[in-house]
Amino acid sequence: MGLFDAPAESPPGEDELGPRPPRSRRGLWWQFWFQWTYLLVGSVLILAVAGLLLWLAALGGDVGGVGGGGGSGSQNRIGGSVLLTRRQYLLERDGGPDAWAARVQEALRLGTQRADRRRAEQERRRAKALAKGGTPPPLGPDRLQLTLPVHRGAGLGVVADLAAAFGWELDWKPTRTARLETAHLVRRSPGGAEAEPVRGN
């Protein structure tokens, strides 16, 4: 093995496959009940900054721009909302393995539907470009990211098992880079099969 050779990727260990540590009940309670105060104060601050920027723009100052980029692959991110919904609060507080598995399966179903729609749009654009005699844009792989609020109580082993039924495969390298907080999935085939629903308690 040379100096710059990458080490072979090791198989996932038990500590990587199991559920992540749960959030504290007290922290969940504080976030759930005081998020409305934070939301109100944050909204006022955002409106104040936006008003200041509009005022500066009206005076002729250079405010700057917001850039955006596009990509050719289908990339979807599920989970990680700013607000803690009642459903997520109850799941984080009292959810058992079956409830977490059902949450993962719901997220996989949603991610698969989004990826299918995006893939159909990309195929339509490719066909349109080919009909005009142009070079069609290359198709990238479908990717899906499940954040920690989606899979915390299930674990990445359950995510990998359930994802296989939908045609997704867990990509361990970026998942490990994200400290096991975001499950990075890659679609094996664009026409993945639907899975049977997991029954909760």
Query: Residue 117 belongs to what domain range?
Result: 75-192
Domain annotation covers residue 65: no
Examine the pLDDT at 66 and tell me if it is beyond 90. no
Domain annotation covers residue 69: no
Between CA 90 and CA 93 the distance in angstroms is 5
Cα 197 from chain centroid (whole Å):
21
Domain annotation covers residue 90: yes
Domain annotation covers residue 97: yes
Domain annotation covers residue 19: no
Comparing 71 with 46, the larger pLDDT belongs to 46
In terms of average pLDDT, the best of 14-18, 19-23, 78-82, 128-132 is: 128-132
Domain annotation covers residue 111: yes
Looking at the structure of the chain, the number of domains it has is 1
What pLDDT does residue 68 have?
32
